[in-house]
């Protein structure tokens, strides 16, 4: 914040109506006091917000107090520059952190025949005899232990990670040449090619996966085409196998691989390849020593964008995979809708999230360290 | 910055190789044309460049000089014509097999490699054993004085340092010909001037044939053994910097290099040793001390450099001296020079320069003075086009 005297003295004439008003108001002590208040740093704002969130959650009855506190907090934190930075945090807080906390909460509950079907974590117990109230907190960690007890969960996690890694790698193999071809295409076609990559999104994801059933089934388009051209005599069994799941994932997530790759490759200076050639490097080798290392950020981004949703994928293994295709998304679905065991399915979800977040954070740390080493 | 090199006579031995008919050209362009669709970027250029020359391609942007350079590097194929390097036809040789290296305008340093690795890249491609790579890289790194920066990546270097890395990278393979595409374009003026001299020193030291593309006439004048002035895909004149400046062959060349006053006129008398030109623009008959290849009455142009003109308050004694009258319109004081703009009685504006040998405390000639602008008969050049 700028020193108030600066505003009062000189600036009124030059800085327009709002600033002039501001300068006049600065003469009034409460306004001056508020205006000179420093905006709260993001970290502390988040901390306060979290405390507020937990407080409001455990004692929702006092909601007007929480509301006022929240508005005050926002008022202090959101001052100009702060607002710009706060927006993404607020978004994450509202749509990522709070749902996660709810899931986390359910994962520590016990299954119950109630609506919702789990026991509450916090309860205010009223002791009639001595007329005292207790806050009872009951954390049930059995849900997590249960995941270790039954092979199904560990197998689901491992099989999901395996299917996701393999299909991410395959998507990279398919996506890289596409992105590379787009970048090398004449400028006037590039927008059109980009549109064509994005075009499938205009149809529902579900419908597109269903369409693959029509292509991959025994009497489907693929088998029909292969048999009529005489390449095979017997129809191939692709549908309801892991192969169909791979095809489905590669097809569905290809744009998420192509777009970041395209973005990095497009930024690459073409004169670097000319320089490599000039220094005696064959174009094929130049791809390995120049293009590939320089597109690494795009490869990493694309792989993350494909791998992360692929691990938790439900629709594709459910529609295209067979009964032996186990993926954590399917297991979670069964746990939630068939067994109606919200606490265990929440524990499955929490572990899945941790499995994905830990490597991402580790990777980010590594990159930061590398950047530090260079500087 | 660069290690001082005893001003070798290297240049002397190579100088004027183009005048010696027994000398074989090192690089020969035969009727080279390059078309992009309908656009002719390079138009039927034939050119000989000799070993250890520092040759400049000078011209405004879009004149085809970079295209010509890229054809020498192998990035573009001539639409027609041949390029010979050391007697060998280069037309079918891809860039990665040419004994030619280029220093790119953007430097094109590999951002993921440090200085050392950038420089070693070319040697590695040739399968040079690693101890030799080490010594050769160290050698050029010390030549361009980048020892402390060897482990840095390009983004951690300043523009001038990057320029040195690019130069070192293209020098380390000891190419038969080094191509430089606007090598100093991104540097500020002081650094550019200093680097020009360093480039000349390196060229003399290594004896490599340099071909440089530039749009900066001062740079071309400073570094080159010869300059080819280009316009619209053609070479207008190829000559030494002195010849280009003193004896331009056309108004285009005269205008492109430095300031010049040009007077249009008609040939009145054409003798072996002199020519008289009736010029309305100059408001007098101009005498030039050399014969020209033009008929009486033909339209010609006389070019006179501003520094070759004199300004006087009295008329000259010598009747042969060219003399025009006018009024001082404007004076620009540049410190070392003063620029006078003089409006002649004919209405033409003339620019002339005077060195400020004495401190200018009180000007003898000032605004609105009536003056005589004179120049010697051997100071101007008669141009036919």
Tens digits of residue pLDDT in A96-113 = 887 888 899 999 999 888
A4: pLDDT strictly greater than 50: no
- Each residue's pLDDT tens digit, B137-174: 999 999 888 999 999 999 999 988 999 999 999 999 99
Q: Does the residue B345 lie in any domain? A: yes
Residue B215 and residue B272 in one domain: no
Q: Does the residue B161 lie in any domain? A: no
Q: Does the residue B120 lie in any domain? A: no
Packing angle, helices A151-184 and A242-267, rounded to 10 = 40
Q: Domain holding B350: CATH number?
A: 2.40.50.140
Which residues of chain A lie closer than 8 angstroms to B170, CB-CB?
278
For position A272, what pLDDT does the model report?
94
ω before A116 within 30° of 0 (cis)? yes
Residue B316 and residue B349 in one domain: yes
pLDDT band at A5 (very low <50, low <70, confident <90, very high): very low
Closest to A232 in 3D by CA, of A243, A222, A245: A222
Q: Which of A268, A269, A278 to mutate: most B Cβ within 10 Å?
A: A278
For position B362, what pLDDT does the model report?
65
- Using an 8 Å Cβ cutoff, are B323 and B377 in contact? no
Domain extent at residue B289: 259-383
Which residues of chain A lie closer than 8 angstroms to B101, CB-CB?
278-279
For position B74, what pLDDT does the model report?
92
Which of B228, B251, B274 is the last residue before a domain boundary? B251
From the list A278, A290, A293, which residue is nearest B95 (CB)? A278
For position B12, what pLDDT does the model report?
44
Lowest mean pLDDT among A176-180, A371-375, B88-92, B374-378: A371-375
A76: pLDDT strictly greater than 70: no
- What ipTM is given for this predicted complex? 0.81
Rama region for B378: left / alpha / beta (φ>0; ψ in -120 to 50; rest): alpha
> Are B104 and A283 in contact (CB < 8 Å)?
no
| DSSP per residue, A237-303 | --TTSHHHHHHHHHHHHHHHHHHHHHHHHHHS-THHHHHHHHTT--HHHHIIIIIHHHTHHHHHHHH
For position A131, what pLDDT does the model report?
79
Q: CA of A271: which chain B residue's CA is closest?
A: B108
Residue B193 and residue B72 in one domain: yes
CA distance B122 to chain A (A): 4
CA distance B298 to chain A (A): 50
Q: CA of B178: which chain A residue's CA is closest?
A: A278
Question: At which residue do the structure tokens 């270790």 appear?
Answer: A148
- Average pLDDT over chain B, rounded to whole? 87
User: Angle B313-B318-B320 (CA atoms, 0-180°, nearest 5)?
Assistant: 115
Q: CA of B76: which chain A residue's CA is closest?
A: A274
CA distance A288 to chain B (A): 13
Beta-sheet pairing, B261-270 with B299-304: antiparallel
Lowest mean pLDDT among A70-74, A178-182, B139-143: A70-74
Question: At which residue do the structure tokens 């995941």 appear?
Answer: A147
Which of B234, B251, B268 is the last residue before a domain boundary? B251
Residue B44 and residue B188 in one domain: yes
Q: CA of B110: which chain A residue's CA is closest?
A: A272
Beta bridge partners of B382: B302
A window 322-351, beta carbon within 8 A of B: none
For position B368, what pLDDT does the model report?
84
The average pLDDT across A354-366 equals 84
Question: Which CATH number does A143-374 carry?
Answer: 1.10.3720.10
Which of B201, B217, B251 is the last residue before a domain boundary? B251
Q: CA of A295: which chain B residue's CA is closest?
A: B112
Q: How many domains does chain B have?
A: 2
Torsion B309-B311-B315-B317 (CA) sign: negative
For position A12, what pLDDT does the model report?
41
Residue B187 and residue B314 in one domain: no
From the list B102, B106, B153, which residue is nearest A269 (CB)? B106
CA distance B96 to chain A (A): 4
Does A23 contact chain B (CB < 8 Å)?
A: no
Does A276 contact chain B (CB < 8 Å)?
A: yes
The average pLDDT across A231-243 equals 89
Which position has the higher pLDDT, A171 or A62?
A171
For position A327, what pLDDT does the model report?
92
Q: CA of A270: which chain B residue's CA is closest?
A: B108
> Are A279 and B100 in contact (CB < 8 Å)?
no
For position A214, what pLDDT does the model report?
93
pLDDT band at A10 (very low <50, low <70, confident <90, very high): very low
Q: Which of B102, B156, B180 to mutate: most A Cβ within 10 Å?
A: B102
For position A86, what pLDDT does the model report?
56
Closest to A87 in 3D by CA, of A54, A45, A52: A45
The average pLDDT across A157-178 equals 95
> Are A294 and B111 in contact (CB < 8 Å)?
yes
> Are B95 and A277 in contact (CB < 8 Å)?
yes
Residues of B with CB under 8 A from a CB of A: 73-75, 94-98, 100-102, 104, 106, 108-112, 121-122, 125-126, 153, 156, 169-170, 173
Q: Does the residue B105 lie in any domain? A: no
Which position has the higher pLDDT, B61 or A40?
B61
Rama region for A137: left / alpha / beta (φ>0; ψ in -120 to 50; rest): beta
A375: pLDDT strictly greater than 80: no
Which position has the higher pLDDT, A40 or A165?
A165
The average pLDDT across A352-368 equals 84
From the list B75, B111, B156, which residue is nearest A274 (CB)? B75
Residue B285 and residue B224 in one domain: no
From the list B95, B97, B112, which residue is nearest A293 (CB)? B112
Outline where DSSP puts E strands in chain A.
122-127, 132-137
CB crowding B296-328: b at 16 or more within 10 Å, else e: eeeebbbbbbbebbbbeeeeeeeeebbbbebeb
- Average pLDDT over chain A, rounded to whole? 84
Residue B220 and residue B322 in one domain: no
Does A280 contact chain B (CB < 8 Å)?
A: yes
Closest to A254 in 3D by CA, of A198, A328, A213: A198
- Using an 8 Å Cβ cutoff, are B284 and B317 in contact? no
Give the number of other CB atoms < 10 A from CB of residue B112.
Answer: 16
Residue B301 and residue B367 in one domain: yes
Q: CA of A282: which chain B residue's CA is closest?
A: B96
Lowest mean pLDDT among A93-107, A185-199, A315-329, B8-22: B8-22
Q: Does the residue B106 lie in any domain? A: no
Q: Does the residue B216 lie in any domain? A: yes
A65: pLDDT strictly greater than 80: no
| DSSP per residue, A223-250 | HHHHHHTTS-SSPP--TTSHHHHHHHHH
Question: At which residue do the structure tokens 């149809």 appear?
Answer: A203
A6: pLDDT strictly greater than 60: no
For position A18, what pLDDT does the model report?
62
From the list A271, A281, A375, which residue is nearest B125 (CB)? A281
For position A7, what pLDDT does the model report?
42
Q: Does the residue B132 lie in any domain? A: no
- Each residue's pLDDT tens digit, A270-316: 899 999 999 999 999 999 999 999 999 899 989 999 999 999 899 99
d(CA A276, CA B52): 25
CA distance A271 to chain B (A): 6
Residue B277 and residue B367 in one domain: yes
CA distance A278 to chain B (A): 5
Q: Which of B101, B110, B152, B177 to mutate: most A Cβ within 10 Å?
A: B110
Residue ranges in chain B whose pLDDT is less than 50: 1-14
Residue length of chain A: 375
Residue B243 and residue B286 in one domain: no
The segment(s) of chain A belonging to CATH 1.10.3720.10 are 143-374
- Rounded to the nearest 10°, the torsion over CA A354, A355, A359, A361 is -10
Tell me which DSSP letter residue A220 carries: S
Does A17 contact chain B (CB < 8 Å)?
A: no
Please list, in sequence order, all residues whose beta carbon lies within 8 angstroms of the beta carbon of residue A9, skipping any fewer than 6 positions away: none
- Using an 8 Å Cβ cutoff, are A24 and A7 in contact? no
d(CA A107, CA A156): 18
For position A171, what pLDDT does the model report?
97
Residue B23 and residue B68 in one domain: yes
Does A375 contact chain B (CB < 8 Å)?
A: yes
In chain A, % of residues over pLDDT 70:
85
Does A293 contact chain B (CB < 8 Å)?
A: yes
From the list A277, A290, A294, which residue is nearest B96 (CB)? A277
Residue B15 and residue B88 in one domain: yes
Q: Does the residue B136 lie in any domain? A: no
């Amino acid at each position: 914040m700028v020193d108030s005297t600066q505003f009062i003295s000189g600036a009124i004439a030059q800085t327009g109506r709002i600033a002039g008003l501001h300068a006049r108001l600065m003469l009034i002590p409460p306004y001056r006091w508020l205006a000179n208040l420093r905006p709260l740093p993001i970290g502390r704002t988040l901390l306060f917000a979290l405390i507020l969130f937990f407080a409001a959650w455990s004692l929702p009855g006092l909601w007007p107090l929480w509301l006022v506190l929240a508005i005050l907090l926002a008022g202090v934190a959101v001052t100009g520059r702060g607002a710009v930075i706060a927006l993404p945090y607020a978004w994450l807080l509202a749509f990522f952190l709070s749902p996660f906390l709810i899931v986390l909460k359910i994962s520590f509950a016990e299954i119950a025949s109630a609506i919702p079907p789990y026991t509450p974590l916090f309860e205010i117990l009223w002791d009639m005899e001595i007329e005292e109230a207790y806050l009872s907190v009951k954390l049930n960690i059995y849900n997590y232990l249960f995941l270790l007890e039954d092979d199904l969960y560990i197998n689901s996690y491992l099989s999901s990670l395996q299917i996701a890694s393999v299909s991410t790698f395959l998507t990279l193999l398919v996506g890289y040449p596409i992105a590379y071809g787009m970048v090398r295409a004449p400028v006037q076609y590039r927008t059109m090619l980009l549109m064509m990559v994005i075009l499938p999104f205009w149809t529902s994801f579900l419908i597109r996966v269903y369409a693959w059933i029509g292509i991959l089934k025994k009497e489907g388009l693929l088998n029909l085409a292969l048999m009529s051209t005489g390449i095979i005599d017997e129809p191939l069994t692709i549908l309801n196998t892991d192969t169909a799941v791979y095809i489905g994932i590669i097809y569905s997530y290809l744009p998420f691989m192509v777009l970041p790759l395209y973005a990095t490759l497009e930024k690459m200076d073409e004169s670097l390849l000319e320089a490599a050639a000039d220094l005696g490097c064959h174009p094929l080798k130049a791809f390995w020593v120049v293009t590939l290392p320089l597109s690494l950020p795009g490869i990493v981004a694309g792989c993350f964008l494909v791998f992360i949703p692929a691990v938790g994928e439900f629709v594709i293994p459910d529609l295209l995979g067979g009964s032996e295709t186990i993926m954590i998304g399917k297991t979670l679905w069964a746990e939630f809708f068939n067994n109606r065991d919200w606490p265990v399915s929440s524990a499955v979800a929490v572990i899945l999230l941790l499995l994905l977040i830990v490597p991402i954070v580790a990777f980010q740390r590594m990159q930061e360290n590398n950047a530090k080493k260079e500087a | 910055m660069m290690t001082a090199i005893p001003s070798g006579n290297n240049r002397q031995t190579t100088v004027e190789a183009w005048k010696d008919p027994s000398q074989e050209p090192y690089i020969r362009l035969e009727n080279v044309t390059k078309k992009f669709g309908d656009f002719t970027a390079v138009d039927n250029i034939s050119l000989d460049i000799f070993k250890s020359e520092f040759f400049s391609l000078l011209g405004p942007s879009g004149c085809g000089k970079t295209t010509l350079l890229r054809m020498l590097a192998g990035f573009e194929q001539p639409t027609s014509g041949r390029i010979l390097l050391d007697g060998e036809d280069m037309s079918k040789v891809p860039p990665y097999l040419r004994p030619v290296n280029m220093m790119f305008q953007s430097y094109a340093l590999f951002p993921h490699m440090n200085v050392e690795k950038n420089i070693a890249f070319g040697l590695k491609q040739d399968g040079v054993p690693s101890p030799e790579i080490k010594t050769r890289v160290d050698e050029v790194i010390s030549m361009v004085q980048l020892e402390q920066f060897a482990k840095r990546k390009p983004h951690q270097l300043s523009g001038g340092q990057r320029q040195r890395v690019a130069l070192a990278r293209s020098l380390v393979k000891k190419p038969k010909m080094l191509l430089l595409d606007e090598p100093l374009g991104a540097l500020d003026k002081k650094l550019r001037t200093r680097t020009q001299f360093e480039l000349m020193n390196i060229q003399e030291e290594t004896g490599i044939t340099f071909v440089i593309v530039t749009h900066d006439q001062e740079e071309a004048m400073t570094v080159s053994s010869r300059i080819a002035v280009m316009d619209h895909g053609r070479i207008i004149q190829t000559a030494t910097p002195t010849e280009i400046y003193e004896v331009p062959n056309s108004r285009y060349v005269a205008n492109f290099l430095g300031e010049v006053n040009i007077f249009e006129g008609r040939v009145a008398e054409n003798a072996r040793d002199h020519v008289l030109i009736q010029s309305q623009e100059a408001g007098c008959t101009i005498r030039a001390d050399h014969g020209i290849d033009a008929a009486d009455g033909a339209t010609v142009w006389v070019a006179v450099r501003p520094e070759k003109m004199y300004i006087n308050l009295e008329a000259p004694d010598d009747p042969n001296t060219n003399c025009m009258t006018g009024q001082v319109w404007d004076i620009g004081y540049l410190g070392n020079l003063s620029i006078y703009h003089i409006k002649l009685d004919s209405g033409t504006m003339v620019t002339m320069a005077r060195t400020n040998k004495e401190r200018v405390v009180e000007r003898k000639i000032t605004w609105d003075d009536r003056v005589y602008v004179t120049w010697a008969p051997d100071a101007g050049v008669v141009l036919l086009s």
